[in-house]
Amino acid sequence: MSNENGATNARRGQAPRGERIADWADGRLGIYSLAKSNMRKIFPDHWSFMLGEICLYSFIIIILTGVYLTLFFHPSMAEVVYHGSYVPMHGIRMTQAFESTLHISFDVRGGLLIRQIHHWAALVFVAGMMVHMMRVFFTGAFRKPREVNWLFGFLLLVLGMFTGFTGYSLPDDLLSGTGVRFIEGVILAMPLVGSYLQMFIFGGEFPGHDIIPRFFSVHVLLLPGIMLGLLVAHLILVFYHKHTQFPGAGKTEKNVVGMPLLPVYMAKAGGFFFLVFGVISVIAAIASINPVWAIGPYRPDQVSTGAQPDWYMGFAEGLVRVMPGWEWDIAGHYTVNFGVLIPIIIFPLVLAAIAVYPFIESWVTGDKREHHLLDRPRNAPTRTGFGVAWLIAYFVMLIGGGNDLWATHFHLSINSITWFVRIAFFVGPVLGFIVTKRICMGLQRRDRDKVLHGRESGIIKRLPHGEFIEVHEPLGQEQLHALTSHEQPKPLEIGPEVDENGVERKVSRSQKLRAKLSKGFYGEDNYIPKPTVEEYEEITSGHGHH
Amino acid sequence: MKKLSARRRHPLAALVVLLFALAVTGGLYAAFAPADKAQADDTAQSLAIKEGKKLFAVGCASCHGTGGQGTSDGPSLVGVGAAAVDFQVGTGRMPAQQPGAQVPRKKNIYNQAEIDQLAAYVASLGAGPSVPAKTDYSKDGADIGKGGELFRTNCAQCHNFTGKGGALTNGKFAPSLDGVDPKHIYEAMETGPQNMPSFGDGSLSKANKKDIVAYLGEVNGDKTASPGGMDLGGLGPVSEGLFGYIFGLGALVAVAIWVAARTAKAKKS
Amino acid sequence: MSETGRHADVPEENLPSERDGAHGDVATKANPFADPGLPPHEHRIQDIDERAAKRSERTVALLFVVSMLATIGFIASYVIFPIDKIVYVWPLGHISALNFALGLTLGVALFCIGAGAVHWARTLMSDVEVAQERHPIEAEPEVKAKVMADFREGAAESGMGRRKLIRNTMFGALALVPLSGVVLLRDLGPLPEKKLRTTGWKKGVRLVNQSTNLPLRPEDIAVGSLTFAKPEGLEEHDEEFNQKIAKDALMLVRIQPQNIKDKQELEWSHEGIVAYSKICTHVGCPISLYEQQTHHVLCPCHQSTFDLSDGGRVIFGPAGHALPQLHITVKDGYLEAVSDFAEPVGPSFWERG
């Protein structure tokens, strides 16, 4: 293409208008060399590869609607008496933040819709990141060279959670205010510096007059700014690394198979933005979210039952709810509030466990190669088991975070649910790990059977001597390849501890641990040996199925 | 069923059946017995007490004692007042079906005239809050805004912002206030049924209670608007999160599957 | 699968894919599991049947037209529907007509653009799958050597390694300069001092009913009732009302004196009327889910449960210490405080003791 452009350029003035503009830009921005490597860049097609796009687009939607909301929202804690359109709130004292939220909802045409799109998109954004992360995790897409991008994505998830938290606190309603009060308690629980931090962050005693404006700056400026940077970096790396792909015919570690950016992917990805925006708009049209007018303005002496944060903080909420009430009194002078402290320490630790996993896996397996073909989760049972265990811990705590609603809707005792969650948080992941690993092994065994004996066709045939058999269809070459192309690495060997001369070899403790973990990863109870060519030949050349 | 048929031949079975039959005929009689028109006020009152006593003996005395003095199965009703009876029987909580953490609301089996007779009888056992007059809980002259503030201070902690109910300890719960008669809400505040604390005139004035009832009518009525769309149960972020995951992300994943799917190929010829 | 050969010196040329030699065409005969390569491209109906392609074209155009109509519908709804119009839509309930109309039209307008574009891409744009080569991310050894050499040269020219004085003072300066930023944060708020230890309650302050705004008399508090109180003189329109009520909020219940298990609680009560802080000792939610039969009070935020008949002891949940009780008495027929709370109210903090 660029060659042709060069040719036409020679005849000056003949070039069409668009091309002349492009020439102008190229002279200043070098767009042709950029386009050369990127315009026909190949992207593989798979629905699970679009989960990240859902996040990207909901982020854009959040920014667009968020800018609109700032035009009407007053992040102020000055008090006013309400006299607007919503009758049940007449005569109530509230902050300007709350009043302007009511104003957006009841007096700005379309304001309610934009508010609801903003909030629904935020829920979808974080949910999308979570599911996207799970896709990347279970398929092993985080392996070299993508560990850094995994971290970027993880940071986006964490920042997304906190941007969400500061955002839903802004209307200063009774529900979110209760959440802010919780944060105050958390800050106070910090040993040594707690009360100082609390005074600085709130500008005095709770609630003060500063926290909403401060949250506002953090919510609209600081956090989204950082997130935008990370997001751009995340996308650049996706481009640079080229997308991963599932194994299959014609797909190797050294190529990427799919459709070119221009035009197919451009149309699909661009179109998908509108699809996401459209779906979220429809949801905002039919389902109410955070109806602050029903909740009422915040007052520190009022509260409602069912006081929960948005779902992405539900995990932390659960940890706090099920924590036993431990408190230390040190020499009668100092207090450590473990009832708050331990949950807010476990919370980042659980998140960090999944964040550092790629580094742990590569250390344990000693795998330093690049990986662009995805793993099928069953072929990496330990990783899959760990992921499931993590999810179980996460969702058990999510149940804990909503224990009061589970209690009322399933006619259970809140205390029993709390106890269930306390136990399940420790037992559930272990069971989940074991069960998942076994399921993975079973699926591997099935793959092996399919390769060797073909697919069960469901057709029952009666043999001349009266025996019934099910006809097994042999697999095609493509499937045979897909089912056998994965690696089955051997665990790391540290070698004998005593060499042939009887001298003890020095093996560091970390090396021993590594070998042990490696065995856990790649050891014999992790894979069913995949069929070898010989086995296959023997069976197929012999008497077919048996 | 199996249990039932196994016990059919129990020596005491006949006695149980007899008692059951008695209770049913008594109940039926009570249900169909014509309520005499009142002639004069005090005679009507004493008549009501007399009728109420009969109804009480049939439906209530087994737990609350023949004189309403209470037994190990039910508390004393001396001094609970007519409002308590009107609430408990009017919302179908009494007579209770079975013991449990809490007696739930169910279909009311008495008509209002019978409830009034029962209430008159129980009120005669000892002074207590009387059934509120219609003006006490009607909307007229109530301050809805103030009612909202009072509701959030005194009620929302158990019953949720708009009266959707909530959990208490060990399986007890604050019930949803959906579709509860304003009179019964007023009576509940006055009498404090079961584990609910009472809000007598010392803690919530009559005007306060009227405001609260009016506020509830506004935000928890049949015609209450939810401008943003479905209210998702009015339960807050948990139901919103579930909806966001299932319908929001679910719909988007479905769309993504369509976007990424292979287009139908032409049939191989 | 295959080892990714690092630094494979593949020419930087476009396309087409030749799979790595490890198992490519070494023969599907010899190895039944070998990669058969990309399957041959199959045509879609639209590729071979121009009528089908035309149909697709019309569908795409129709979707774009629907989008335009929906946008017009959006503008029309904006103008037509009054903002306070409520309509009943099954099964959504009584909802705002404007919000529903705007959301649906906007949603359809956007969705149809997306659906049109995707349908276009799926049916009319080429669907030939192409393989593009990847190149290892790591640099070739010679590139690395060149970079390292450049770096060493640059570092040597800077004199960083040699002139340690410069290096160390520079690090010092860089380490110190952010301190100005930290210092600037000092005025974010005041120091805690005794603020968390005191409340608005003190000797002789009357208990005022929050709902009626009247001073409370003992006869206002019946057994089994629940009343919320604030200190006399604190009004809702006060500038600092929220800060004050966040510590002063009080709940009053009356328990038969013989049912009060804690001795001090009985002493600090008046004829069974006990006054407890409404602020949970866990993280400060207003705790007030009072069960009058069990005298338990539950926090709606994290389910800490306290026993009001036993000194406000914690019986369940994450709270670490009992609810503070306010010592009350009666003077001139009205309830009043004997002193401030004996301990800080609300969540605990390091210096609480």
Q: What are the tens digits of pLDDT across the range A395-427?
A: 999 999 999 999 999 989 999 999 999 999 999
Question: What pLDDT, on the 0 to 100 scale, is given for residue A95?
Answer: 96
Domain residues for the domain of A19 are 2-38
**In degrees rounded to 5, what are phi and psi of residue A495?**
80, 170
Averaged pLDDT for residues C232-252: 94
Average pLDDT over residues C154-164: 90
Q: Does one domain contain both A135 and A261? A: yes
B150 — pLDDT class (breaks 50, 70, 90): very high
Rounded to two decimals, the pTM is 0.90
Alpha carbon A249 to chain centroid, angstroms: 29
pLDDT of residue B2: 56
**The pair of three-digit structure tokens given for residue B6, joined into one six-digit string:** 């196994």
d(CA C195, CA A500): 73
pLDDT at C21 over 70: no
Segment B93-100 long-range contacts (CB within 8 Å, at least 24 positions apart): B93/B193, B93/B194, B94/B60, B95/B59, B95/B60, B95/B63, B96/B63, B99/B73, B100/B171
Clarify whether residues A175 and A276 are in a common domain.
yes
Residues A217 and A262 placed together within one structural domain of the fold: yes
Q: What is the structure's pLDDT at B9?
A: 58
Q: In this complex, is the C-beta atom of C217 within 8 Å of any C-beta atom belonging to chain B? A: yes
Burial A88-110 (b: 16+ CB within 10 A, else e): bbbebbbbbbbbbbbbbbbbbeb
Task: Please give the pLDDT value at position C24.
Answer: 42
Does residue C302 sit at the B interface (CB-CB below 8 Å)? no
Q: Domain B132-222, what fold? A: Cytochrome Bc1 Complex; Chain D, domain 2 (1.10.760)
- Determine, for residues C131 and A333 on separate chains, whether the beta-carbon distance falls below 8 Å: no
User: pLDDT value at position A231?
Assistant: 97
Please report the domains of chain C, with CATH numbers, ordered by start residue: 12-135 (no CATH), 207-352 (2.102.10.10)
Mark whether A11 and A57 lie in a shared domain.
no
Q: Which of B136 and B2 is assigned the larger pLDDT?
A: B136
- Per residue in C212-236, pLDDT (tens digit) is 999 999 999 999 999 999 999 999 9
Span A231-242, average pLDDT: 95
Q: pLDDT band at residue C191, thresholds of 50, 70 and 90?
A: very high
| A–B interface: beta-carbon pairs under 8 A | 213
Is C31's CB within 8 Å of A334's CB? no
pLDDT number for residue C17: 35
What pLDDT score was predicted for residue A14? 73
Partner-chain contact A174 B161, CB within 8 Å = yes
Which pLDDT band holds residue B36 (cuts at 50, 70, 90)?
very low
Q: Which residue of B has its CA nearest to C287?
A: B157
3-class DSSP assignment, residue A293: helix
Q: What is the pLDDT of residue B29?
A: 60
pLDDT digits (tens, 9 = 90+) for C293-344: 999 999 999 999 999 999 999 999 999 999 999 999 999 999 999 999 999 9
Domains B12-130 and B132-222 agree in fold:
yes
Mean pLDDT, chain A, as a whole number?
91
Name the more confident of A512 and C1. A512
Return phi, psi of residue B146, to 5°.
-60, -40
C99 touches chain B (CB under 8 A): yes
The Cα–Cα gap between C37 and C28 comes to 10
Query: Residue A161's domain is classified under what CATH number?
Result: 1.20.810.10
The three-state secondary structure class of C275 is strand
Nearest chain B Cα distance for residue A48, angstroms: 8
Tell me: do A33 and A109 sit in the same domain: no
pLDDT at B267: 65
pLDDT range class, residue A6, cuts 50, 70, 90: very low
How many angstroms separate the CA of residue B47 from the nearest CA in chain A? 42
Tell whether the model's pLDDT for residue A72 goes beyond 90: yes
List the 69-88 stretch of C: residues with Cβ below 8 A of B: 86
The pair of three-digit structure tokens given for residue C203, joined into one six-digit string? 């000797």
Flag whether A453 is in a domain: no
**Amino acid C60: pLDDT:** 97
> Do A34 and A46 have their domain in common?
no
In this prediction, residue A511 carries a pLDDT of 85
Q: How confident is the model at residue A470 (pLDDT cuts 50, 70, 90)?
A: confident
CA pair distance A527, A442, nearest whole angstrom: 10
Domain membership flag for residue A151: yes
**Domains in chain B: boundaries:** 12-130, 132-222
| CB contact at 8 A, A105 and A111 | yes
As a CATH number, domain B12-130 is 1.10.760
* A231 and A141 within one domain: yes
A80 and A25 inside one domain:
no
The pLDDT value given to residue A468: 87
> What pLDDT was estimated at residue A512?
85
| B70 has pLDDT over 90 | no
Residues with Cβ within 8 Å of residue A515, at least 6 apart in sequence: A491, A492, A493, A494
How high is the pLDDT of residue A513?
A: 87
Beta-carbon contacts below 8 Å between A and C: 376
User: CB of C237 within 8 Å of any CB in chain B?
Assistant: no
Task: Render pLDDT for C171-186 as a digit per residue (tens, 0 to 9).
Answer: 999 999 999 999 999 9
> Residues of B with CB below 8 A from A47's CB?
253, 256-257, 259-261
pLDDT higher than threshold 70 for residue C19: no
The domain total for chain A is 2
ipTM for the predicted complex: 0.91
Range name among A532-536, B165-169, B173-177, C17-21 with the lowest pLDDT average: C17-21
Tell me: do A29 and A113 sit in the same domain: no
- Burial call A322-341: b when 16+ CB within 10 Å, e when fewer: bbebebeeeeeebbbbbbbb
B183 falls in which pLDDT band (50, 70, 90)? very high
Q: Check whether residue A33 and residue A125 sit in a common domain.
A: no
B68-106: burial string, b at 16+ Cβ within 10 Å, e else? beeeeebeebbebbbbbbbbbbbbbbbbbeeeeebbeee
**A51 vs A129: CA distance, rounded Å:** 8
Tens digit of each residue's pLDDT (9 = 90 or more) over A268-320: 999 999 999 999 999 999 999 999 999 999 999 999 998 999 999 999 999 99
Distance CA A282, CA C252 (A): 48
List, as ranges, residues 251-310 from C with C-beta within 8 Å of A.
278-279, 282-289, 300-304
pLDDT digits (tens, 9 = 90+) for A343-360: 999 999 999 999 999 999
Q: Residues of C with CB below 8 A from B266's CB?
A: 42-45, 47-49
Residues 6+ apart with CB under 8 A from A383: A137, A138, A140, A357, A361, A375, A377, A521
**What is residue A141's three-state secondary structure?**
coil
Report the percent of chain B where pLDDT is more than 90.
Answer: 49
pLDDT higher than threshold 80 for residue C79: yes
Task: Report pLDDT for A13.
Answer: 56
**Residue whose structure tokens are 């973990």:** A517
Domain identity same for A230 and A192: yes
**Residue B31 binned pLDDT confidence (cut-offs 50, 70, 90):** low
Say yes or no: A313 and A184 in one domain: yes
Which residue in B has a C-alpha nearest to residue A122's C-alpha? B244
A78-121 pLDDT, tens digit per residue, is 999 999 999 999 999 999 999 999 999 999 999 999 999 999 99
Please name the helix (run of DSSP H) or strand (run of DSSP E) that holds residue A103, with its range, or none: helix A96-106
> What does the pLDDT read at residue C20?
41
